[in-house]
Amino acid sequence: MKGLLPEEELRGDIKEMKKRIILLGPPGAGKGTLAEMLQEREGIPHVSTGDLLREEVKKGTDLGKRALRYMEKGALVPDKLVVQLLKKNLSQDSFFVLDGFPRNLQQAKILEEEKMRIDAVVNLRVNDETIIFRLSGRRICRSCGKIYHLVNFPPKKEGICDICGGILYQREDDREEVIKERLKVYREETQDLVKFYKEKGILEEIDANGEAEEIYASLVEVLKRNGKEREN
């Protein structure tokens, strides 16, 4: 697992930024895209529980088989399984941008129990039409995981990854009926988290309806502001 990076490997503006970050927001808010941008540009490792779970499913592990039953329906995988996976991939001294965890209040409390220091929680606010448009057009490279969008960010050659030539696929749970269930679950389970982190005073909110570059700029601004405030 990509953990703490030596100082000389940190890129861009990261030195002034917060480095242990949680991205919150509904499916399709752009958590994965923004986390990938932070990883590529600043060197902060992207840790996605959805990706970790899909990897287990792909490998056919016991955990993957158990998780798949929930993922197919758009339901949450039991905390115990997700935490088991996360523990293998996070350490007390790593930098990270966490995408897809915590998903409910219990999971946030688990992070606290594990004494995981969190520098910033950024909530991505986005409306439902944007979500449906983004998710139904999302395509992912089967080999390298690069995310595309049929309209907003199409590959140069249809169905093929620009970076590695891998085949693009649509996630099973990006079908419209499953999207609706995932949004329902998000509303029921995840929104309490916003309140929880607000009360802790580490919540930031940004408008995530626009273009990726625009949203990324707001995100970096918030993380830098936060980083500076902490130094002072």
Please tell me the distance from the alpha carbon of residue 77 to that of residue 54, in angstroms, as a whole number. Answer: 12
Catalytic residue among 171, 198, 224, 225: 171
Identify which range of 8-16, 58-66, 101-109, 215-223 contacts ligand AMP by CB under 6 A: 101-109
Catalytic residue among 54, 103, 134, 139: 103
Whether 187 is catalytic: no
Should residue 30 be labelled a site residue for ligand AMP when binding is judged by CB under 6 A? no
- Interactions with ligand AMP, residue window 162-201 (CB under 6 A): 173, 182
Which burial class, exposed, middle or buried, applies to 212 when counting CB atoms under 10 A from its CB (0-12, 13-18, 19+)?
Answer: middle
Please tell me the distance from the alpha carbon of residue 72 to that of residue 7, in angstroms, as a whole number. Answer: 41
Helix spans in the chain (H): 31-42, 49-59, 62-71, 79-89, 105-113, 128-136, 176-185, 191-200, 212-231
In order, the DSSP letters of 37-74 are HHHHHH-PPEEEHHHHHHHHHHHT-HHHHHHHHHHTTT
Nearest to ligand AMP of 20, 182 (CB atom): 182
With CB atoms as reference, the residue minimizing the distance to ligand AMP is 50
Whether 66 is catalytic: no
Least gap, CB of 15 to ligand AMP (angstroms): 29
- Interactions with ligand AMP, residue window 51-90 (CB under 6 A): 53, 70-71, 74-77, 82
Other CB atoms within 10 A of residue 185 CB: 18
Whether 171 is catalytic: yes
- Catalytically annotated residues: 31, 103, 138, 171, 182
Residues that bind ligand AMP (CB under 6 A): 27, 49-50, 53, 70-71, 74-77, 82, 100-101, 103, 107, 173, 182
